[in-house]
A and B are shown apart, each in its own frame.
Chain A
Amino acid sequence: MDVTRRFWVLAAMGVFLAAVSVRFERPFLLVGAAGIGAWLIATQYAFAWTLVRFDDMVQISQAVSPERGFTTQQFHVTLSVSAADRLPYPVDVSIQPPPSVTGIDDEPVECRLSPADDKATVTGTFRSPVAGRVRFDSPTVYIADTFGLFQESFRRGDPTTATVEPPQPTDVRVGHGDVASVSEGTYPIPQGGESLVFRSLREYVPTDPANRIDWRATARLAEPQVLEFERQTDHRVEIVIDRRREMTVGDPGRTKLDYCRAVALSFVDGLEQSRDPTGLLVFDDDGVVTVRDPRSNREWYKLLRTLLHDQVDSSLAADAAGSGLHPSVGELALPDAGARARKYLATDRTDFGRSILPFAGTERPLPAQTTDDSLFSTVEMLSKRLSGPVVTAIFTDDSRPVKTRESVKLARRGEGQVVVFLTPTVLFEPQALDDVESVYERYRSFESFRRELDRLRGVSAHEVSPGGRSDAVRAAVEYHQ
């Protein structure tokens, strides 16, 4: 416990009386010093007597609502303090928000349980601009004694946590006309041939089937050995993502680009399971901003997801469109910078150099933009860089149908396959559902464009849209009809 200034004043008086008692040889003054000392001991004992019974007398709880939300959302933390018996002193209890959250009220959230009350509740409102787990530590209790001599503060009650996520689409619909293409998280991935390839040799363990023992290796190494294989497919996948200005249409965190990113991430999950070599190409209004050759090792898929989170971002697209410059996401995002870095790192034999080499991108220089449509020029560049059968997954919208159609045809070249994920602009506009008739007409145009693409040989076209709005449009039209 801590002592207050008033305590030190009384203690000083006791010392003064003792000193005067000695100086003037008056023993009765020592009784005065002892009296003040005894009084201080008694009051401190009374305070400690209350504190050690605190847990039996007071219950403190806190709860955060909602337990899971987004960075744009407000969180409410409710603190409840109740007393089983009447308290001798008032108790102040305050919530301990982490530094990452901002209080909407900008005042400490605390409640006072006075001796006359048996319950007190307070609710604080917070917002967390940072995604992650937000932990509210155990509330802090502050209590002081009646005479103002002693005070104590300590933590009581359980901590509570909330999970804060960046704003993201939660109702992604990947449709193929009226039929959803997605069921239980499976995405339309074209299937190619597959084969088993040798991965490693390891010692036999009793749970292995006996027919997997490799007798030659066993004879050579004098211990039973088994061969391990893994499945490998023979087609490569190139993910092409449109990050142009038109892809930023939509509410914050729920733009066309955000929906495309969500689908692309799930698409990558499926590709990782089949270990398809997968590359990435992101372009905006000025051309290609990120290019990575297809790879299939486990670290690559992890990196691919990171790239999708970092590069496929509405704020970057909006910034680039606004400034007319490439987004400032680091030099390695620029194709020529990646090539330069790779050339330099190729001669770097240090652990650091070897570790960041895979992040440096392609070693081949990118061709200059040849047409006024960046999707077309990107696909054109892709067709020159990659040979053999390639599955191209294009994430774009319906704002430039003619150019998109030409780009898809170009991507399909030879025996290649193309999967197009199209976002209908009409379903992302903020006032989209105000005029149902108009919305339906525009949606029909989109659907006819999607079907047109879908009818092309080797092409599969899917709609990516907010499920709620898509259903609302259909329901509204059915109601009017």
Chain B
Amino acid sequence: MSDKVTQMPAFVTGRSDTRAPFVATGLGLVMVLLTLWFTAGVPGAALGIAVAVISLLLSPPIGFAFAQAGLLAVFPDGLALVAFLLVEWSLLLTLFASLVRSPAPAQTLGMGLASLLGLTSFARLLALETGSAVTGAVFVLGGVGAVLYTIHRFERVELGLTEVSN
């Protein structure tokens, strides 16, 4: 019985496997390289290699941001929907794979994905409704700031570091 308990996955025990993040990130980077090569040829492959190096040397979020900026150079006329979905999916996979290192991977991944879906969906909706990309961008930045501040306040109150009324 005890063996079964120790074999439970990380999202149940709340513990993270030290090898899992590296495997997931490695797989994600390979997928980024392949999809960029497939969609943009040699320039895409070069970008994929650069993204992999930056992600491993610095951190996956920085590699992710670099990849987004790189897409602007590799696809100066914009991306087709299929290419966009393939590239972004592999980039997001690489980004969120690093969250497996967090203390509660299942909850953390769920929170990350829910935030991403909520932010992009409502940003697109607002942009379409108002006909302005600025509205969508402001919503994304404002939404992220609001959620970060809410979690910060929740933590302060739970730890007794501030009064609820404050």
Q: With A37-B140, A45-B107 as given contacts, are A32 and B154 in contact (CB-CB < 8 Å)? A: no
Interchain CB contact under 8 A, A30 and B102: no
| CB of B79 closer than 8 Å to a CB of A | yes
Interchain CB contact under 8 A, A40 and B116: no
Residue on A nearest B157 in the bound complex, by CB: A52
Tier of interface size on chain B: 35 or more
Dominant secondary structure at the B interface? helix
Interchain CB contact under 8 A, B107 and A1: no
Interchain CB contact under 8 A, B116 and A38: yes
Smallest Cβ distance from A18 to chain B, in angstroms?
4
Interchain CB contact under 8 A, B141 and A38: no
Q: With A14-B144, A30-B137 as given contacts, are A41 and B79 in contact (CB-CB < 8 Å)? A: no
List the A side residues contacting B103 at CB < 8 Å.
Answer: 46, 49-50, 88-89
**Among A13, A45, A152, contact of B62 (Cβ-Cβ < 8 Å):** A13
Interchain CB contact under 8 A, B78 and A26: yes
- Interface segment among B30-38, B44-52, B90-98: the answer is B90-98
| CB of B158 closer than 8 Å to a CB of A | yes
Interchain CB contact under 8 A, A48 and B109: no
Residue on B nearest A145 in the bound complex, by CB: B102
List the A side residues contacting B127 at CB < 8 Å.
Answer: 27
Q: With A and B bound together, what is the CA distance between A21 and B148 in angstroms?
A: 22
Interchain CB contact under 8 A, A37 and B141: yes
Q: With A and B bound together, what is the CA distance between A38 and B65 in angstroms?
A: 13
Interchain CB contact under 8 A, B159 and A31: no
Smallest Cβ distance from B102 to chain A, in angstroms?
4
Interchain CB contact under 8 A, A1 and B64: no
Residue on A nearest B83 in the bound complex, by CB: A28
Q: With A and B bound together, what is the CA distance between A40 and B111 in angstroms?
A: 10
Smallest Cβ distance from A20 to chain B, in angstroms?
7
| CB of A17 closer than 8 Å to a CB of B | yes
List the B side residues contacting A89 at CB < 8 Å.
Answer: 103
Smallest Cβ distance from A17 to chain B, in angstroms?
5
In chain B, residues 91-130, which have Cβ atoms closer than 8 Å to a Cβ of chain A? 91-92, 95-96, 98-99, 101-104, 107-109, 111-113, 115-116, 119-120, 123-124, 127
Smallest Cβ distance from A88 to chain B, in angstroms?
3
Q: With A and B bound together, what is the CA distance between A88 and B92 in angstroms?
A: 24
Interchain CB contact under 8 A, A19 and B137: yes
List the A side residues contacting B108 at CB < 8 Å.
Answer: 42-43, 45-46, 49
| CB of A15 closer than 8 Å to a CB of B | yes
Interchain CB contact under 8 A, A26 and B72: yes
List the A side residues contacting B101 at CB < 8 Å.
Answer: 146-147
Smallest Cβ distance from B87 to chain A, in angstroms?
8
Interchain CB contact under 8 A, A52 and B137: no
| CB of A24 closer than 8 Å to a CB of B | yes
List the A side residues contacting B143 at CB < 8 Å.
Answer: 37
Interchain CB contact under 8 A, A15 and B141: yes
Scan B129-166; emit 1 where CB is below 8 A from any A CB, else 0: 00001101100110110011001101110111100000
Q: With A and B bound together, what is the CA distance between A42 and B61 in angstroms?
A: 12
Scan A66-83; emit 1 where CB is below 8 A from any B CB, else 0: 000000000000000000
**Among A25, A32, A41, A52, contact of B144 (Cβ-Cβ < 8 Å):** A41
**Among B88, B119, B137, B158, contact of A51 (Cβ-Cβ < 8 Å):** B158
Q: With A and B bound together, what is the CA distance between A54 and B103 in angstroms?
A: 12
Residue on A nearest B156 in the bound complex, by CB: A1
| CB of B39 closer than 8 Å to a CB of A | no
Smallest Cβ distance from A56 to chain B, in angstroms?
12
Interchain CB contact under 8 A, A48 and B155: yes
Q: With A10-B62, A18-B137, A24-B72 as given contacts, are A42 and B144 in contact (CB-CB < 8 Å)? A: no
Residue on A nearest B116 in the bound complex, by CB: A38
27 contacts between A and B (CB under 8 A): A1-B155, A1-B156, A13-B62, A17-B69, A22-B134, A28-B84, A29-B72, A30-B120, A30-B137, A30-B140, A31-B120, A33-B137, A33-B140, A35-B91, A36-B61, A36-B65, A37-B141, A38-B144, A39-B98, A39-B99, A42-B102, A42-B109, A44-B148, A45-B108, A52-B154, A54-B159, A88-B15
Known: A39-B95, A86-B15. 7 other contacts (CB 8 A): A28-B84, A29-B71, A34-B144, A35-B64, A39-B112, A44-B148, A46-B104
Closest 7 CB pairs of A and B: A32-B68, A42-B112, A88-B103, A37-B144, A46-B102, A38-B116, A38-B115
